[in-house]
Amino acid sequence: MKSLLILTGHSKGLGRAILNTYLEKDEFEIIAISRTRLELNKPNLTEISLDFGELDVLENELSNLFPSGDFNEIILINNAGWIGEIKPVGSLQVKSMRTQININLLAPMYLTNAFVAAYKDSKAKKIICNISSGAASKPMEGWGEYCSTKAAIAMFTKVAAKENQDSEFRFFSVAPGIVDTQMQDEIRQADELDFPQIERFKSYKTNGDLSSPEMVATKISYLLEHESEFQDVIQDVRNFDLP
């Protein structure tokens, strides 16, 4: 029987590494959503171009994103994310705050909600993995938008898990650690006055302390494959090693 993965933010960074990990698993059909299409021409991959910054299109497409079928396992990984405008509160732009909430919070909320509605009667193993951040529980100066949206999606995930305790659904909110992606590039380009921690983040790169997207993707795949070993909704890939 086939399995299904719906993955957002597959075009680069951690999402691209997760995509590669699942492309190697022949049993998976994959629906991947980002603004950019990779045009990989893989028979088990369907790419959809959507901009989560503007949610009108996603709202209209929601009911078409989740195919019915006799699946063994169905996974949703809400990975797409944006660091947002790195500025202190008082200097944030209204448009950027709205875009940030759309990408990091509303889009994964919409998709989680629609996924539960679409598959509540399916007998498949069903897992929702929302990629959050250590910043969800740690205030960082200049990251007001980012910390807030990551904290909110973690709480939304915990509520959904509580509502579905006696069901076939599993919910995880996963912090991936500090990963060597374009998002870290953007962080290192912030203005020191807006982001006092910048030197620490630059040193992660120069000291080779960043995790590779491939390693983090492997850990996320392990977590989802061995979900019964992981009881808590809130997970941090830094807290477990691969066997």
Residue placing its CB nearer to ligand NAP in the complex, 75 or 124: 75
Catalytic annotation present for 146: yes
Residue placing its CB nearer to ligand NAP in the complex, 17 or 124: 17
* Contact predicate 101/84, CB 8 Å: no
Q: Report in angstroms how near the CB of residue 71 gets to ligand NAP at its nearest.
A: 24
Q: Report in angstroms how near the CB of residue 130 gets to ligand NAP at its nearest.
A: 9
Residue placing its CB nearer to ligand NAP in the complex, 82 or 119: 82
Q: How many Cβ atoms from other residues are within 10 Å of residue 168's Cβ?
A: 15
Taking the C-alpha atoms of residue 120 and residue 97, their distance in angstroms, rounded to an integer, is 33
Residues of this chain that interact with ligand NAP (CB under 6 A) are 9-15, 34-36, 50-53, 79-82, 103, 131, 133, 176, 178-179, 181-184
Residue placing its CB nearer to ligand NAP in the complex, 3 or 149: 149
Q: Report in angstroms how near the CB of residue 179 gets to ligand NAP at its nearest.
A: 4
Residue placing its CB nearer to ligand NAP in the complex, 120 or 200: 200
Burial class for 192, CB neighbours closer than 10 Å (0-12, 13-18, 19+): exposed
Q: Report in angstroms how near the CB of residue 159 gets to ligand NAP at its nearest.
A: 19
Residue environment code for 43-59, b if the CB has 16+ CB neighbours within 10 A, otherwise e: eebebbebebbebeebe
Q: Report in angstroms how near the CB of residue 82 gets to ligand NAP at its nearest.
A: 5
| Active-site residue, from 110, 146, 204, 222 | 146
Active site members:
146
